[in-house]
A and B are shown apart, each in its own frame.
Chain A
Amino acid sequence: MPAVIDIRGVHRIYESAAGYTHALKGVTLRVERGEFLCVMGPSGSGKSTLMNTLGCLDTPTSGTYRLEGVDVSTLTDDELAELRATRLGFVFQSYNLLPRATVLRNVMLPLVYSDCPVSQREQLARKALASVSLPEQYFDHRSNELSGGQMQRVAIARALVNDPAVILADEPTGNLDTATGNMVLRTFRRLRDEGKTIVLITHDAEVADWADRTVHIRDGRLLTDEQERALQAAHPGTRSAT
């Protein structure tokens, strides 16, 4: 069985008014099924670009990306959209829920784009909400009536609802206090225990402790733990724990 994520020698170069930005410099990474991986790095290190690349929102300038064995560079825009709808789940720092829609409606949103029959949607959404332990009494609330922790759990349920190959979480605890953040991270851990594959991006070392494995990204390059420790020893204080 191929790895869920297999990227090799990926470069990403942006062209902007200020000139060229080399955001990823030959990144190679494998994520196995059922793994909870943390990508850690300070801001500007290229972790967001990596996240967008993994999420098929951005395409590499060079290198290959295989998602469950499929080379995504060969896919058309519509095929990429379908991939996002069915094989990828996103969790954002700022939740990105539709504020005026109900919790159920928010969780059902990806199903709208994956051609899921209308009759099955609510059932799938309830199941996803149950697995993030959101009490049923909130299901018909508008999402802007919830607390931050509740909103993030709704967002995780939304990422789960299509049973994706991988859940990509970009600073999911960034807007939450430590206790609530830990609750969200516990949810990710439990999902990992149920066999989900999770890639979490953070700059917070404490968050990274929840993961099975951590890779560091710095100036567009991935470092192993050993390389990172060596770097830390040479330049103490550069580790950007906040």
Chain B
Amino acid sequence: MRIRDLVWETGSALDANRGRSLLTVLGIVIGIAAVIAMTALIGGVKQSLVGELGLNQARMVDFFAWPEREVTLDDLKNLEERMPEYECLTATSYANGEVKSETKTFSGTIMGVLPNYERVMGVKMTQGSFIKDHDQDSVALVAVLDQGAVKQLYGSPDEQVVGRTISISNVSYSVVGVSESTSYMGNGGTVYLPFSTCASRLTGDWGIGSINGLAREDADMSTIAETTMQTLADYFQMSEDQAKEDVYAYTMQSVIDELETTMASFQLLMTAVASISLVVGGIGIMNMMLTNVTERIREIGLRKALGARSSDITKQFLLESVCLCLAGGFIGVVLGYLGSFALTGVAGSMMELGATSAPLRPMIDVKSVAMVTGICILIGVLFGYYPARRAARLDPVESLHYQ
């Protein structure tokens, strides 16, 4: 029996029972739809969070020390030499104040940053550009707003604001760029000024508030926090007890790990639900195939009389159940993706990612479709085997005279 014949037989057999076949595969459809919806949703959530954290976030280390004296930009330069595991370090200072546009006022976070802050933190610009070296060197009166701040000052986060003027404590700054908001920084709105400008115009203080480092790609992220804290303690000549109190280093790796763990347990739960549905669906397939065999006993007897080997009959019924499952899988994939769009709508609003952050989109990938195809073939073979063997073992004489 050739493959072409098998396919023809299968097609005509399934075609003959279209309505019943459709009902039978419902269990498979639901199981597969659940699998697809979940993988698409989880993929979407992951992508949206990773996008929000920025590409460099996994390599970012947030650290600082509070020795008896002030930490300055000179210390930063020295630390950079002592910490070869970092590509670069950047310093930040913080200030508070009322930020005013032509019409509105808000009090948000004001940060004095070095130009390499953009690179270390993976800041994404939506308009204009970030603070440059010459801004820092010339203590320029320029500001970069994040979308949250733009929303507060101009009503909409998409307002074109490059070139406009804002004022902080009666000093005017011209806006040179807008960056994407990140949930890391909060959605309240942030204004970035050159470090030098912030120190001389707002705080009058050249001390550093925090340090962020971008680790080298080959750096060991699991131990970097430990070594960084050790280096800080050594550099500032702090005692062990003092270091315990006044030195910290924090990596995003732990946040990402935590996220992965949450996702994994969610995935496990959904896999369990989907598996149950698929097993129930598989039993449905087996039931239908057994009915099929009983209904077609005479046909099986005839085929054997005409020269079909037992293996030909097995193949015919196995392919039929595999095709049933694949058809169910196909419908399930389509429904699953449609469902995942609806689910992401609900999940997106539940997570309240904020008006300014990227919308949650289900992630559709070839890998899960390939996985579903594999699962369907497996179920088809697993639950089709017994009915197929039963058909193949029928005695031709008895089945030819079966009424």
A: residues with CB less than 8 A from B are 52, 55, 57-58, 77-78, 81-86, 90, 92, 96, 98, 100-101, 109-110, 112-115, 118, 158
B2 interface neighbour in A86, A100, A109, A118, Cβ under 8 Å = A118
Can you list, as one digit per residue, whether each of B289-321 has a CB less than 8 Å from chain A (1) or not (0)?
Answer: 000000000110011111111111000000000
- From 364 to 396 in chain B, residues with beta carbon under 8 angstroms from any chain A beta carbon are 396
Q: Which B residues are CB-close (under 8 A) to A92?
A: 400
Question: Cα distance A83–B397 when bound, in Å?
Answer: 16
B50 within 8 A of A: no
List A contacts of B400 (CB < 8 A): 57, 92, 96
Known: A100-B12, A101-B12, A113-B312. A84 touches B397 (CB 8 A): no
Decide if A84 touches B2 in the complex (CB within 8 Å).
no
Min CB gap A22→B, angstroms: 17
- Which A residues are CB-close (under 8 A) to B355? none
- Residues 7-21 of chain B, each 1 if its beta carbon lies under 8 Å from chain A, else 0: 000001000100000
A-B contact pairs, 14 of them (CB 8 A): A57-B396, A81-B308, A82-B309, A84-B307, A96-B298, A100-B16, A109-B303, A112-B1, A112-B2, A113-B303, A113-B306, A113-B312, A118-B2, A118-B4
B5 within 8 A of A: yes
**Do residues B309 and A113 form an inter-chain contact, with CB atoms below 8 A?**
yes
Would you call A81 and B16 a contact (CB within 8 A)? no
Cα A58 to Cα B401 in complex, Å, equals 14
Interface size of B as a range = 20 to 34
CB neighbours of A110 from chain B (8 A): 306-307
B5 partner residues in chain A, CB cutoff 8 A: 112
The CA of A113 and the CA of B2, in the complex, are separated in Å by 8
Per a CB cutoff under 8 Å, which of B306, B309, B310 touches A109? B306
Residues of A within 8 A of B298 (CB): 96
Q: How far is the CA of A191 from the CA of B107 in the complex (A)?
A: 105
Top-8 shortest CB links A-B: A85-B307, A113-B307, A81-B309, A84-B307, A110-B306, A112-B5, A96-B302, A57-B396
Provide the residues of chain B in CB contact with A113, threshold 8 Å. Answer: 1, 303, 306-309, 312
Q: From DSSP, what is the main secondary structure of chain A's interface residues? A: helix
Q: Which residues of A contact B307 (CB under 8 A)?
A: 81-86, 110, 113-114
A52 touches B12 (CB 8 A): no
Q: A100-B16, A112-B5 are in contact. Are A90 and B299 (CB under 8 A)?
A: no
Q: What residues of chain A lie closer than 8 Å to B308, measured between beta carbons?
A: 81, 85, 113
CB-CB under 8 A for A90 and B310, given A58-B397, A100-B16: no
Contact partners of B303 in chain A: CB under 8 A: 109, 113
Chain B residue contacts of A115, Cβ below 8 A: 2
Residue from B12, B16, B305, B306 having most chain A Cβ neighbours under 10 A: B306
Report the minimal beta-carbon distance from B387 to chain A, rounded to whole angstroms: 20
Task: Quote the shortest CB–CB distance from A140 to chain B (angstroms).
Answer: 15
Assuming the A-B contacts A81-B304, A110-B306, A113-B309, are A57 and B397 also in contact, with contact meaning beta carbons closer than 8 angstroms in the complex? Answer: yes
When distances are taken between beta carbons in the complex, the residues of chain A under 8 Å from B311 are 78
Choose from A78, A90, A112 the contact partner of B305 (Cβ within 8 Å): A90
- Given A101-B12, A118-B4, are A78 and B397 also a contact pair (CB < 8 Å)? no
Cα(A158)–Cα(B302), bound, Å: 12
Contacts A52-B397, A57-B396, A96-B298; A77 near B305 (Cβ below 8 A): no
Residues of B259-307 whose CB lies within 8 A of A: 298-299, 302-307
Q: Give Cα distance in the complex from A77 to B307, angstroms.
A: 10
A98 CA to B300 CA, complexed, in Å: 11
Q: In the complex, given contacts A57-B304, A110-B307, A112-B2, what are 18 additional A-B residue pairs having Cβ atoms less than 8 angstroms apart?
A: A55-B305, A58-B397, A77-B309, A77-B310, A78-B309, A78-B310, A78-B311, A84-B304, A84-B305, A85-B306, A85-B307, A85-B308, A92-B400, A96-B400, A101-B12, A109-B303, A113-B306, A158-B306
B397 to chain A, nearest CB (A): 5
Question: Of all chain B residues, which has the CB nearest A118?
Answer: B4
- List chain A residues, Cβ under 8 A from B310: 77-78, 81
- Which residues on B sit within 8 Å (CB–CB) of A109? 303, 306
| Residue of A whose beta carbon sits closest to that of B15 | A100
| In the complex, per-residue mask of B152-167: 1 if CB is within 8 Å of any chain A CB, else 0 | 0000000000000000
Within 8 A of A (CB), among B297-347: 298-299, 302-312
How far is it, in angstroms, between the C-alpha of A92 and the C-alpha of B397 when the chains are bound? 12
- Which residue from chain A places its CB closest to the CB of B296 in the assembled complex? A98
CA distance A84 to B304 in the complex (A): 8
A211 to B307, CA, bound (A): 27
Kindly identify, within residues 181 to 232 of chain B, every residue whose CB is under 8 Å from any CB belonging to chain A: none
Q: Determine the residue in chain A with the shortest Cβ distance to B4.
A: A118
| Alpha-carbon distance between A55 and B307 when the two chains are bound, in angstroms | 11
Contact call B305/A57, Cβ cutoff below 8 A: yes
| A residues less than 8 Å from B309 (CB atoms) | 77-78, 81-82, 113
Task: Please name all residues of chain A whose beta carbon is closer than 8 Å to the beta carbon of B306 when the two chains form the complex.
Answer: 84-85, 90, 109-110, 113, 158
CB distance from B395 to the nearest CB of A (A): 8
Tell me the bound Cα distance from A208 to B297 in angstroms: 31
Q: Which residues on A sit within 8 Å (CB–CB) of B299?
A: 98
